């Protein structure tokens, strides 16, 4: 693995925000990230870049394709020395690229040495967790890497009470406290096959906040 020299911080010459999306598995991070990326592209199509920093076979395609086909062709892999070396170099290059106000990073769901190195090259992170009790450990993990936490978000499934079966309550809506520092909130029903109504408005609001952050960082560098 390409370890970071403690005396060198590659973020010192970044031109914009490099924001990692982190949290434990099965929290809906891929669905959240896909919607966040769409919202950012609608606002700033030329200033946003999404980089996959985990060898899990995920991508925009896995959120947009038929899920039965996704399960057949998606191939998970483990971190390899080659993968992490290329990934860390790519993140540094993206951070220095003045074309992007925001670079989003898709991280794996474990607090590993590889993900620590990626966070050492991230300016900020967003924590999304279906386990509220796990948020504190992720905050400590990110802070130790010198990564500023932009938001801590809980992910939960909300079910109807009138149904005899466990059916998602598609009238439920997500919420954000944008004036909190970091931003806090709850995203509900992050599911690929149930539409985006439950969480779209909240992620739109978050996208607006990220654009402000990215522009501010870029202006400070100029």
pLDDT digits (tens, 9 = 90+) for 75-116: 455 658 888 999 999 999 999 988 888 999 999 899 999 999
Asked whether the beta carbons of 10 and 94 are under 8 A apart, the reply is no
As a whole number of angstroms, the distance between CA 17 and CA 180 comes to 20
Predicted pLDDT at 26: 92
Which pLDDT does position 72 carry in this prediction? 45
pLDDT of residue 70: 39
Question: What pLDDT sits at residue 165?
Answer: 73
Coil vs helix vs strand at 46: coil
The pair phi, psi for residue 141, each rounded to 5°, is -60, -45
**DSSP annotation string for 128-197:** EES-GGGHHHHHHHHHHTT-EEEEEEEEE--B-SS-SS--B-TT---EEETTSSSEEEEEE---TTS-ST
Q: pTM for the whole thing?
A: 0.85
The CATH number of domain 12-221 is 1.10.1270.20: no
Domain boundaries, the chain: 12-221
93's enclosing H/E stretch is: helix 81-96
Q: Which of 27, 182, 65, 49 is nearest to 104 (CA)?
A: 49
pLDDT under 50 in the chain at which residues?
A: 57, 59-63, 65-67, 69-70, 72-75
The Cα 125–Cα 137 span in angstroms is 14
């Amino acid at each position: 693995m390409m370890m970071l020299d403690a005396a060198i911080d590659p973020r010192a010459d970044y031109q914009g925000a490099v924001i990692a999306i982190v949290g434990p598995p099965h929290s809906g991070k891929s669905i959240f990230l896909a919607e966040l990326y769409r919202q950012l592209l609608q606002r700033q199509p030329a200033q946003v870049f999404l980089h996959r920093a985990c060898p899990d076979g995920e991508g925009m395609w896995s959120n947009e394709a038929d899920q039965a086909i996704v399960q057949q062709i998606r191939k998970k892999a483990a971190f390899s020395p080659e993968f992490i070396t290329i990934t860390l170099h790519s993140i540094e290059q993206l951070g220095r690229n003045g074309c992007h106000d925001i670079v989003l990073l898709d991280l794996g769901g474990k607090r590993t040495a590889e993900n620590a190195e990626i966070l050492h090259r991230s300016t900020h992170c967003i924590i999304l967790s279906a386990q509220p009790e796990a948020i504190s450990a992720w905050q400590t993990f990110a802070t130790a890497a010198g990564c500023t936490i932009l938001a801590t978000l809980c992910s939960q499934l909300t079910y109807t009470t009138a149904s005899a079966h466990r059916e998602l309550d598609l009238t439920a809506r997500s919420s954000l406290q944008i004036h909190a520092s970091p931003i806090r909130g709850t995203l509900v029903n992050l599911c690929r096959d149930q539409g985006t109504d439950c969480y779209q408005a909240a992620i739109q609001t978050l996208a607006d906040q990220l654009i402000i952050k990215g522009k501010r960082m870029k202006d400070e560098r100029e």
